[in-house]
Structure formats: C-alpha cells, structure tokens
Amino acid sequence: MITTAAIAMTLILVSTVLFQDDFNDGTADEWFTVGPSSYEVQDQRYHFSGGGAVNHATSYRGDAGEVMSTPDYSMCTDVEIDVGIFGGMMTRYSENGLYNMMLVLSIPHQALRLYRWHWSSIELIESYPFPVQTGITYTVKMQCSGNTLAGRAWLPGENEPEEWFVSVTDTLSRPGAAALFAVGTSKEFTDVYMSCFFDNVVVETPEPWALAQNTWASIKRLNSLPH
C-alpha cells in the first residue's frame, strides 16, 4: 500500500548544495572582493566595514571559481546590519555586466527590496514590508531560475516562508556569481560608515517555483481520499 507520507516524500525534491560557507575556519579565502572596503572574518562571521568615501561593499564567489557553474540556483545567508542602510545579496552577479539584480533588507524603508542596479543608477523593482533593525540577524534567500528571480526573508529559528515576497521576470541569463552586498550610511553629509555581518551562506540548486504552493495542497487532497 502506498501511503500519503510516501507520496509526499516523492513530491518533495531535495536540493543539491553547490557551495556553503559558515566562516567557522576563520577565513574567507575563496571570496573575491570589490572596492576598498574592509573584508574580514570576525567571530566566525564575514564582516564588511568602511568609512570615509566608502559607502558600499561587495564580495562574491561561485562553485567554479569566480562564477557559478549554472545560472539557476538559490542563495541563502544570515545578515546583520550593524551600521548602514542595506544588507543583502546579488545572484548572477558580474562586475562587467550592464546591471545586477539585488535583494536587500532596507532599514530606511523597513522592507525587503528587489532592485536592478546599474553602475550609475538603481531602480526599484518591488518592495515588501518587513521590519528591519540594526543589530538583529535575519535570514534572506534569493532564487534565480529561468527568467524569474525572487526573494524572501525571515528571522532565524522561524520556519522559512513558503511564498516569495518579491519577484521579477528578467532576461539576465548569464551564470555570474553569488554575491554579498552592504551599503553604509552618511554621517554629517561627508563621512560614510558601514558595518554588516554575514554568516551561514548556502548556495544550492533551486526549488521548483510552484513546489511550495502545490506540494502541501496535493498532500491535503490525498489525505481526503479513502484509504
């Protein structure tokens, strides 16, 4: 007899980890950095910091050196903004691309925001209300699969939400890299200070877009059938 639990197990697909980093070894040697910001591992977390004219920081890597071996994957990380306005990530990141897609927690907007970032400008794609405080750790996840990119966020220890909070259809199909990103805050109009921590980075094969919505609905329907 095929049980509901057995059928459910066939519906739930197991993702394959492409790379992960908890920084417990005290280094971030496999990460590449952009700009003059300071990048170092402190207390087993990856710390971005800067001052003066330094107002943002990017560090990236892939499972194939500087790039991902596939354009389709999900990226998850813990983020704590110590000082600054944004903290988050970019998937399919490229230093030489026309633009990059960015998912960030925004303190000024109290939201999870999806941006299209050109080197000379930034365009808001979608915003989802989400309370963000400095000194608090949040988990953020961004997925790129096919022409769709989406993101969600939650507090560590809570269940991961089933729904995606923000999403966009985009033709950016290059593999690129998985990147961490932070933006500082201005002080007295001239000085900029930034401090943001990242931890528990996991990059894995993407989940099917409809899995979260359809799996449990299918299981419920199966439970209603005669046994």
Q: Check pLDDT > 90 for residue 5.
A: no
Q: What is the mean pLDDT of residues 76-98?
A: 94
| Per-residue confidence band for 209, with pLDDT thresholds at 50, 70 and 90 | confident
| Per-residue confidence band for 219, with pLDDT thresholds at 50, 70 and 90 | very low
C-alpha span between 73 and 68 (Å, rounded): 9
Global pTM reads 0.85
| DSSP bridge partners of 48 | 39, 196
Q: Check pLDDT > 60 for residue 226.
A: no
User: Domains of the chain (ranges plus CATH)?
Assistant: 16-206 (2.60.120.560)
Which tens digit of pLDDT belongs to each residue from 194-206? Answer: 999 999 999 999 9
| Average pLDDT of the chain, as a whole number | 86
C-alpha span between 65 and 87 (Å, rounded): 24
The more confident residue out of 188 and 222 is 188
Beta strands in 107-188 (DSSP E): 111-118, 122-129, 137-145, 148-154, 166-169, 177-183, 185-187
166: which 2 tokens? 């923000």
Contact between 34 and 58 under an 8 Å Cβ cutoff? The reply is yes
C-alpha span between 50 and 68 (Å, rounded): 27
Residues 6+ apart with CB under 8 A from 118: 98, 99
